[in-house]
Chains A and B, each alone.
Chain A
Amino acid sequence: MELFLNRVSDGLSNGATYALIAMALVMIFKATTLINFAQGEFAMFGGFIVLVLATERGLPMWVAVVVGMLISAVLAAGIERTLIRPFDPANHLPLVIITLGLFLAINAIAGIVWRFDPRAFPELFPSGNALTYGTATLSWYTVGTLATIAVVSGGLTLLLTKTKVGLAFRAVSSNLESSELVGIKVGPTLQFGWAIAAAVGTLGVCVFVASPFRQLEPQVMVTGLIFAVSAAALGGLDSLGGAIVGGLAIGLVQSIVVPYSPIPNELSLLAAVVVLMLVLLFKPSGLFGTPQVERV
């Protein structure tokens, strides 16, 4: 029982990262029906920026995180403006190719600049446990990751429902043509979406590697993206709330499956992909997505 609780705790904290990256994917998908295959690399790059700010510039950890999020938001906004906006949003092929190109290029740049040796990432949450029950422990890390999701979720909700740009974003996600007709400029609105997605993704990577068991290295999000895609699909590709549920679910699947393989990663990735296939096969709109994603 206590072992199980520990596994649940692990699963939730892993799931938190998948949830955050999944939220980033959903932000962009909602507005453009495009999956940004480079999302993981954006996040990883942001993570390195945070690391540099914290270790080389000596910024306090959370300040580094926030600044890193801002920087990655700006970079993503720049990428949207130069590489994405020139293309007709309805035509996916060039855009998918561009995101693949970005995947390769950003991964390579990270490898060139920071090499491939894993780096320790400073902890974001107090070490130690918040609760113990026999041998089961609930680490501050797990609590912290879940709290992060709550804060991000709350923040995004406020942003989307109470601000003008948030309203514009929701409008563009709902009906592009009508949005233009009320005067919304689609380009800058999408740019906002890309920026927010990058920031959330960066936070996701930071939370992921801030664990004493993990380190930051350029390949960290290559398989991580698959987990996030599964999470997003499970939750419904256009549902932010669904991304959270999906992320936590995938995290739990991963940690409960772990005991059955001496090479944990192998089986858990397989499990995530199986979930993805099942979702796409039987309920493509996921748990909370709008069915219009399905072909009529």
Chain B
Amino acid sequence: MASTPRFQYTLGTPAYRTYKWLGFGLLALLLIIVAFAYNDTGSIALLDNDYKISVTRVTKAIAFMVAILGLQVVAGFTGQLSLGQGFFFGTGAYISAILIADYNWSWYLTLPVVITVCFLLGLVFGIPALRIKGLYLALVTLGLAAVFPSLIKLDSFAKYTGGAAGKQIDYEFVQPSWVPLDAVADAFHKIPLIGSYFGDGEGLSSKEEHRVWTFIVMTIIALACFKMVSNLVKSRPGRAIRAVRDNETSAAVNGISLSYYKTMSFGVASALGGVGGSIYVAELGIASEGDFTQLLSILFIVGMVVGGVGTLSGAVIGGLVIAFVPDWASSTQSLPGIPERWLQGPTGGLILGILLIVLTFVLPGGIISGVRQIKAKFVRVTPPRPALVAVGSASTSTLSDDSEADSGPSDAESPTIADDS
């Protein structure tokens, strides 16, 4: 370890608290900027290509983030992959869509229904968890993901789901009158140099207002989900499960029923998937089976791995990656040196597939581990007194609670499922 990091903090000190609040403040500022910038579909032009970004796309990414968060729970607590998060995502989307379109519910009220139903479904499919170690969940969830579009189109369900045509909802998220969206937008517009990205200074149209407000609502919900998972991970049962995850004897001796907790965590993961779907359909306005194919489930895995398996920030990165990469890849119509023919077609899939493979070799802990390694060169946080840090326990597929005092610059090891030696 060449140089000592420039910034050192000890947990619990006022200096550390300031550092943390600074971080949160920056994050909040970033969110606000995102909310108001590119409110309408903006785009970045690079090399003759037009890359679209907008608040709506970011909201979609949020939906994905919550779904991937669910995957992180499964991976972190059970050490397994679920290949069917798309199933629960789609289920949540359709439940919300049906309740809103056919029964005039408010979107907010559909959430508890979605959570309950998806949680129970998760229990049902996860109950025989670990029948075949490692493989059961992957195979069952693979089947679920594959069959979802078919279920939607089945005659007996089609009358509720709208079948292949999809289920449209006409829902507006209207902000309470005390939220000064117009004022904030105009304030941004006045900032020299970058003001032009923030609308036209004449207030927001109601459509724009709704978009921003939707984004704000979804961000709050997503933050709540992340906080919940973070608490889960830090809780006593949470830490206990992570500690004995792969050791049945340890678990039994400590009075923990691994099967129970693993099933429950799959329930939680499924519920999160459902919430993600609800967010998605709220944003998109329509639930259509073509959006919820096997491919989506695989994309969620890609997001999780690219972001960083078993980490919370990894879910955020992953959501952004899968929301934007395929889109931008198909927007890339010309790159110097590459024949056009190669840029048409599913380049997004190709990029993600290659990314997945390359990351497994080079950065198995995902992007977040790279970020942490870089960050570790500048900042170190130490616990208040010498603690017994488990040697070499940079095992990444335990859900890290992102508390920085965990394990310094690490995460260079391959995440493992059942074998964590």
Residues of B within 8 A of A222 (CB): 294
Contact with A along B343-382 (1 / 0, CB 8 A): 0111111101111110011001000000000000000000
Q: Which of A14-22, A63-71, A102-110, A173-181 contacts B (4 or more CB under 8 A)?
A: A102-110
Contact with A along B2-18 (1 / 0, CB 8 A): 00000000000000000
- Contact (Cβ within 8 A) B357 A102: yes
Total chain B interface residues with beta-carbon distance under 8 A: 55
Q: Which of A92, A100, A267 contacts B417 (CB 8 A)?
A: A92
Q: A108-B349, A112-B347, A280-B131 are in contact. Are A266 and B139 (CB under 8 A)?
A: no
| Highest count of chain B CB atoms <10 Å: which of A101, A233, A237 | A101
Closest partner residue, chain B, to A232 (CB atom): B139
- Contact (Cβ within 8 A) B345 A263: no
Contact with B along A33-70 (1 / 0, CB 8 A): 10101000000000000000000000000000000000
Residues of A within 8 A of B294 (CB): 222-223
- Contact (Cβ within 8 A) B135 A100: no
- Contact (Cβ within 8 A) A284 B154: no
Q: How far is the CB of A80 from chain B (nearest CB, A)?
A: 13
> CA separation between A295 and B345, bound complex, in Å?
43
Q: Which of B131, B154, B357 contacts A98 (CB 8 A)?
A: B357
Residues of B within 8 A of A263 (CB): 153
Residues of A within 8 A of B150 (CB): 265-267, 269-270
Total chain A interface residues with beta-carbon distance under 8 A: 53
Q: Does B132 reach chain A (CB closer than 8 Å)? A: yes
Q: Which of B83, B132, B153, B418 contacts A280 (CB 8 A)?
A: B132
Residues of B within 8 A of A233 (CB): 139
Q: A269-B147, A270-B150 are in contact. Are A284 and B361 (CB under 8 A)?
A: no
Residues of A within 8 A of B345 (CB): 108, 111-112, 115-116
> CA separation between A37 and B353, bound complex, in Å?
13
What's the dominant secondary structure at chain A's contact region? helix
Q: Which of B79, B81, B83, B352 contacts A104 (CB 8 A)?
A: B352
Residues of B within 8 A of A111 (CB): 345-346, 349
Q: How far is the CB of B330 from chain A (nearest CB, A)?
A: 11
Q: How far is the CB of B244 from chain A (nearest CB, A)?
A: 16
- Contact (Cβ within 8 A) B415 A105: no
- Contact (Cβ within 8 A) B357 A105: yes
Q: A112-B346, A229-B139 are in contact. Are A280 and B154 (CB under 8 A)?
A: no
Interfacial residues of chain A within 65-91, with CB under 8 A of chain B in the complex: 83, 86-87, 90-91
Residues of B within 8 A of A92 (CB): 134, 417-418
- Contact (Cβ within 8 A) A97 B301: yes
Interfacial residues of chain B within 363-421, with CB under 8 A of chain A in the complex: 364, 397, 414-419
Q: Does A281 reach chain B (CB closer than 8 Å)? A: yes
- Contact (Cβ within 8 A) A105 B353: yes
- Contact (Cβ within 8 A) B133 A295: yes
> CA separation between A208 and B133, bound complex, in Å?
33
Q: Which of B135, B144, B153, B344 contacts A33 (CB 8 A)?
A: B135
Closest partner residue, chain A, to B352 (CB atom): A104
Contact with A along B140-182 (1 / 0, CB 8 A): 1011101100110111000000000000000000000000000
Q: Does B25 reach chain A (CB closer than 8 Å)? A: no
Closest partner residue, chain A, to B343 (CB atom): A112
> CA separation between A230 and B144, bound complex, in Å?
12
> CA separation between A272 and B146, bound complex, in Å?
10
Q: Which of B132, B144, B415 contacts A294 (CB 8 A)?
A: B132
- Contact (Cβ within 8 A) A101 B146: no
Q: How far is the CB of A253 from chain B (nearest CB, A)?
A: 14
Q: How far is the CB of A11 from chain B (nearest CB, A)?
A: 19
8 closest A-B pairs by CB: A105-B353, A104-B353, A101-B356, A108-B350, A108-B349, A112-B345, A273-B143, A266-B150
10 A-B residue contacts at CB 8 Å? A90-B419, A91-B417, A93-B417, A100-B353, A103-B353, A223-B146, A229-B143, A280-B128, A280-B136, A280-B139
What residues make up the interface of B, taking CB atoms closer than 8 Å to A?
A: 79, 81, 83, 128, 130-136, 138-140, 142-144, 146-147, 150-151, 153-155, 294, 298, 301-302, 305, 309, 341-342, 344-350, 352-357, 360-361, 364, 397, 414-419
